[in-house]
Structure 1
Amino acid sequence: MEFKKALVNARHHVVFILGLATALVIAFGIESRHTGLVLGNITFEAPESIPLKESRVLTTQEYEWANIAWQYFENNYQENTGLVNSVDGYPSTTMWDTASYLMGLIAAEKLNIVTQDEFDMRMEKALTTLARLPLVNGKLPNKAYNTQTLEMVDYENNPMQNGIGWSAIDIGRILVPMNILIWQYPEFNQQVNNVLTHWRVGEMLIDGYMFGARPASNGEMELVQEGRIGYEEYASKSLALMGRDVFNSMKYIDFLEMVNVYGIDIPTDKRDPAEYHAHNYVVSESYILDGIEFGADSVSKIFAHRVYEAQQRRYKDTGIVTAVSEDNVDEAPYFVYNTVFSDGKKWNAISDDGKDQSHLKTLSTKAAFGWYALYDEEYTELLIEEARDLYSTKKGWYSGRYESDGRTNKAITANTNGIVLESLAYIENGPLLTIGEKNNNN
């Protein structure tokens, strides 16, 4: 009995010793990997040189580019709701594109493109609207809304009484500006709280995974796991900052498969689209956003550079200046995923139904700006030279240029112009979600 009592009293010492022993084993295990770098649950050959761009004041030309991007939001602003159209002149939006507007607005404030009064007015109106949106099953924002009436709609802007479901990835994206407001603009804390009280974010999280919703055959909404490598981890970060359990969504390793593209092992998602009914696009956007908004993590920093480097090597091999991402296009099917890798194919360009759209491959304006903001390298200078004239001074930045014949892809969107603004704000301020700091240049 005395021994048992002594053991109980000493249990915390036993736990400490066991923990220390385990830590030593792990430490020696890591030290024994002379040729590798262990980052979380992934091992890389070390080190990988990444030419990150240092922060600096924008040039006069870059500041002009930012003003061109802001013109889109001036043109497409809906006074009565405070929302902005996803596509130029078309009164519909998604949560992803609303996030692009809010991030563009934050970037415009940081760059002194808008006055403090205009920023406050626009942000307050948008947050007030988001806190009163009709929700799918009274739980979460629909995938699309009419920007004038706030009706839940389908992607053709037809009213749908209970919506067409929600996108967990889109909601994760719009929580990025919410986090920025909480940490850097505390005067909006109450309005952000009103939004988060209205939305039932916990309904899209199960066992650390994110779930979207879509109409089932019985007319009810069914939950489907949402997110693939790149987007899944990016969208999870804003939820993690809000104390939500997204542990499994943030792990790269569970479904990671490395595919060799031009001698580079790039990250892909091994979940089979035929089985999981979701495509596994490897594109620029998710990695660019992770870098310019969060500053990237030790894994995504390397993954991003590999995805970029594969595009640079395609240019060196083919002479085609390459900056690929998903984009609106100005002809049917009007939206194309232009990828480094997707559905088992390198440099695959497909629509969301999986059909080949190789004839609509483009240099993406937002990808060109994003890589230019992140990396200080000759190739990013070439990218910005290719993209620098793809705009209308009256409408904003076009989505890109077609590879096949060099003509401009004249789709003009909130997402492209928002990411252009974010990218330029990153050059001057560094990662936009820097907790505890607010860079005021007033």
Structure 2
Amino acid sequence: MESSSSWVKARHHFVFIAGLATALVLAFSIENRSYNQVLGNLSFKATEPIPFREARMLTDEEYVWAKTAWQYFENNYQDNTGLVNSVDGYPSTTMWDTASYLMALISAQQLNVITQTEFDLRMEKALVTLARLPLVENVLPNKAYNTQTLAMVDYTNQDAPDGIGWSAIDVGRILVPFNILIWKYPNFNKQVNKVLEHWKVEAMNIDGYLFGSRPKKAGSGFDLVQEGRIGYEEYAAKALALMGRDVFNALRYADFLKLITIDGVEIPTDNRDPAKYHAHNYVVSESYILDGIEFGSDSISRIFAYRVYKAQKNRFDRLGILTAVSEDNIDQPPYFVYNTVFSDGKEWNAITDTGADASQLKTLSTKAAFGWYALYDTPYTSKLIQGVDTLFDQSKGWYSGQYERDGKTNTAITANTNGIVLESLAYMQNGALLNIGADTQL
């Protein structure tokens, strides 16, 4: 039973939940629950029931899959800082990848892959570290850190004493495990509050939108830049809303929504021009999967998610190529590729972060296959999991995927892939991870 002091500490979150519910109702303009939805000046309808998977105990094989994913975090744990490498053997991390570790830690505890004692010790150490990170302009976490020294670094893990800016989407992601800890593990309330007292989260939230920062093109200092596109923007905003932040505009799907037809399915895309806004508008699986397995989706995102999934299933029906696309590390230059349903005006586009063509590096994504398998109970998700269920090394964890062009394994092994594998399996057993009111401390 929670102590009365824990209830007092958490009580203000009920107000935030009420505020979030009101914001969602206003922002989404939902007419009813029959999936005849109105979104701004667009109306659309779910054409078929969404085949959500019912929660159940994991099979013996699925439990082994979870233990295999956890092995990555055992191998890449930095005992002196409590952080985990974002890529196998590479001592660097981002806030997104650190969030993947914290979500993996929570999932492993819920699945009894690790003991309560190990969970408590690891979570305590990680939160203490996050409360003492050097920050960009003493405001928010840098985009990358050395996991051994906690130095702010660039993406090549070279020291960057002033930092390279912060990512609002990455910070939004790490607020998800913070919210789970506040609600489900009240013994960590004090540690979470110390992190949030150290970080100035309000700096990335302006007029209801999310803003990241990047170095000025000339001179010192940083520029603020609006961050997030449909799917990721709403996902990150939900975590901030739960913490009482005004993210009303970031939650509005309708403002920049354009529906386009790909493989017979109208999917959501972001109509902000990459050339004008200096950000690519990727449509991938990951943001919708995370929204489903962590938040349980909302009335709009559950339809959008199923459409993004269905387009990938229809591509398989058309070409016979197993399709589950997301952004992923790869084991060859350029080492990171966005495999998309749609981006920058092209369907089934594969590009680098600079927009360069990477069509020869399309992959079946392990984490996307696990995510869709967790969410939907369909013959195609069974095919997806059968397509990736050998892509692991029991001593290292899950590989990132398989190349389309030759069927070879993409042998990159990462915190994000293994974290999402664990999250997906925890969802299959317990439902949405941020399921307030559910007691998972068994």
TM-score where L is the length of structure 1: 0.91
- What residue number does 2:193 align with? 193
Shift of the 35–202 alpha-carbon distance from structure 1 to 2, 3 Å rule, reads closer
Deviations 1:219-249 (A, max 9, x none): 2110000000000000100000000011000
Give matches, 1:107-256, under 5 Å.
Answer: 107-216=107-216, 217-256=218-257
State how far apart, in whole Å, the 1-side matches of 2:396 and 2:421 are: 14
Aligned to 1:62, the other structure's residue is in SS state: helix
Q: What amino acid maps onto 1:400 in structure 2?
A: G
Distance 2:390 2:429 in 1: 22
Residue identity opposite 2:53 in structure 1 = K
Partner of 1:381: 382
Considering only CA atoms, is the larger Rg found in Structure 1 or Structure 2? 1
Verify the 8 A CA contact 1:127 1:195 in the aligned structure 2.
yes
What code does the residue aligned with 2:106 have?
I
Give the equivalent residue in structure 1 for 2:44.
Answer: 44
Amino acid aligned to 1:428 = Q
What is the rounded CA distance, in whole Å, between the counterparts of 2:259 and 2:239 in structure 1? 26
Q: Is the 8 A contact 2:40 2:254 kept in 1?
A: no
> CA separation in 1, counterparts of 2:322 and 2:95?
31
Q: Which residue matches 1:5?
A: none
**Shift in Å, 1:40:** 7.5
1:62 aligns with 2:62: yes
Counterpart CA distance in 2 for 1:147 and 1:30 is 48
Aligned residues: 412
Distance 1:37 1:338, change over 3 A: same
Gapped runs of 5+ residues in structure 1?
Answer: 1-26
Q: For structure 1, which segment, 265-274 or 34-43, has the greater mean C-alpha deviation from structure 2 after superposition? A: 34-43
CA displacement, residues 375-409 of structure 1 (integer Å, 9 cap, x when unaligned): 00000000000000000011000000000000000
Pair 264,75 (structure 1): closer, same or farther in 2 beyond 3 Å: same
Residue type of the alignment partner of 1:38: V
Q: How far does residue 37 in structure 1 lie from its aligned partner after superposition?
A: 3.0
- Matching of residue 434 in structure 1 with residue 435 in structure 2: yes
Instruction: Give yes or no for contact 1:368–1:380 (8 Å, CA) kept in 2.
Output: yes
RMSD of equivalent CA atoms: 1.5
- State the partner residue of 2:350: 349
Q: Match for residue 77 of structure 2? A: 77
AA at the equivalent of 1:385: Q
1:3-49 Cα shifts (integer Å, max 9, x gaps): xxxxxxxxxxxxxxxxxxxxxxxx9x969xx9943368752225541
- What's 2:6 paired with? none
- Which SS does the other structure have where 2:202 is aligned? helix
Answer yes or no: is the 8 Å Cα contact 2:326–2:339 preserved in 1: yes
Moved over 4 A (4+): 39-42
Question: Judging changes above 3 Å, is the alpha-carbon distance between structure 1 residues 309 and 47 closer, same or farther for their aligned structure 2 residues?
Answer: closer
* Structure 2 match to 1:22: none
Partner secondary structure for residue 37 of structure 1: strand
Cα separation, 2, equivalents of 1:206 and 1:108: 36
Report the equivalent of 1:336.
337
Distance of 2:227 and 2:286 partners within structure 1 = 17
Cα distance change of structure 1 residues 46 and 111 upon mapping to structure 2, 3 Å threshold: closer
Residue type of the partner of 2:416? N
Residue type of the alignment partner of 2:318: D
Which residue is equivalent to 1:16?
none
- Which residue identity lines up with residue 352 of structure 2 in the other structure? S
Unmatched 5+ residue regions in structure 2?
1-28
How far apart, CA to CA, are the structure 1 residues paired with 2:434 and 2:121? Answer: 21
What displacement does 1:435 show?
1.3
Q: Is contact 1:258-1:266 (8 Å) kept?
A: yes
Task: Give CA-to-partner distance per residue, 1:285-339, whole Å, 9 cap, x none.
Answer: 0000000000000000000000000000000000000000000000000000000
Following the alignment from structure 1 to structure 2, what is the Cα–Cα distance between the partners of residues 326 and 229? 15
User: Per-residue CA shift, 1:248-274, capped at 9, x if unaligned?
Assistant: 001100000001001111000000000
The answer to whether residue 298 in structure 2 is matched with residue 278 in structure 1 is no
| 8 Å contact kept, 2:98–2:174 | yes
Query: Where does residue 420 of structure 1 map in the other structure?
Result: 421
Change (3 A) 1:48 1:85: same
Paired with 2:99 and 2:46, the residues of 1 have a C-alpha distance of 36
- Write the deviation string for residues 184-210 of structure 1: whole angstroms up to 9, x where unpaired: 000000000000000000001110000
SS at match of 1:124: helix
SS in 2 for 1:398: strand
Structure 1 residues 375 and 150: CA distance shift in structure 2, 3 A = same
1:260 partner SS: strand
Given residue 263 of structure 1, which amino acid in structure 2 is its aligned partner?
G
**Structure 2 contact 46–303 (Cα < 8 Å) conserved:** no
- Asked if the contact 1:144–1:152 (Cα under 8 Å) also holds between the matched residues in 2, the reply is yes
Measure the CA separation in 2 of the matches of 1:133 and 1:313: 45
Deviations 1:409-437 (A, max 9, x none): 00000000000000000000000001122
1:53 maps to amino acid = R
Q: Residues 243, 35 of structure 1: CA spacing in aligned structure 2 closer, same or farther, 3 A cutoff?
A: closer
Contact 2:361 2:404 in 1 (8 A): yes
Name the TM-score, length of structure 2 as normaliser. 0.91
